[in-house]
Amino acid sequence: MRAASLLVLALIATPAFAQNLGRTPIPLGTKDAPPVGPVAPSLVVEPAAMMIAACDADGDGRVTRDELHRCLAHSFALIDTARTGALGYIAFADWAERWLGDRTALPSPFETDADGDNKITLAELDAKFDQIFARLDKDKDGVLTRAELLTIRANIAPDFERRGKKGRP
């Protein structure tokens, strides 16, 4: 009877021993263990670049400065409901939330407000996006493609072993 109980217990426990327990197998031919934790994406889209991509009026996958300026004027007018020609910082945050996806997305109102009068005009918004356009236009042809709107981010693995030791972050 005891032997039968042990046999049943062993059969029930067999799947538990076969589980992987969350370990990542090391591919053949490598000496190092795979990275621990989630891996950050290598391609990201900045909020401003995402908005620029949405400004592709003719749907050709390319955004010209003219398309961008018309799109900025349209987005600005939708937030400037009083038609004052300027957005305060709170209204700019409303604009950023609607068009960049978050109230705190870059460019910030502080860097966009070129004259420091605590208001952002369409001209100031155009000027800031001209700077962003120029930075993203890798081949300097005056047109942004989807590939140019992607930002490559380096994957820097955190050093888990050194963290918290004296003299280390």
Share of the chain above pLDDT 90, in %: 62
Evaluate if residue 15 carries a pLDDT over 90: no
At 86-129, the pLDDT tens digits run: 999 999 999 999 999 999 999 999 999 999 999 999 999 999 99
Q: What band does 152 get if pLDDT is binned at 50, 70 and 90? A: confident
Q: What band does 6 get if pLDDT is binned at 50, 70 and 90? A: low
Q: What per-residue confidence (pLDDT) applies to 43?
A: 86
Contacts 24+ apart (CB under 8 A), 43-48: 43/150, 43/151, 43/152, 43/153, 44/150, 44/151, 44/153, 45/149, 45/150, 45/151, 46/106, 46/151, 47/96, 47/100, 47/101, 47/102, 47/105, 47/106, 48/100, 48/105, 48/106, 48/107, 48/129, 48/132
Output the CA torsion sign for 12, 17, 21, 26: negative
Q: What per-residue confidence (pLDDT) applies to 42?
A: 82
Q: What per-residue confidence (pLDDT) applies to 151?
A: 86
The three-point CA angle 18-22-25 to 5° equals 80
Contact, 111 vs 128, CB < 8 A?
yes
Kindly state the average pLDDT of the residues 156-167. 53
The fold for domain 42-152 equals Recoverin; domain 1 (1.10.238)
More confident residue, 119 or 31: 119
Output the CA torsion sign for 50, 54, 125, 69: positive
Evaluate if residue 7 carries a pLDDT over 90: no
Evaluate if residue 76 carries a pLDDT over 90: yes
More confident residue, 143 or 28: 143
- The mean pLDDT of the chain is 84
Q: What per-residue confidence (pLDDT) applies to 44?
A: 86
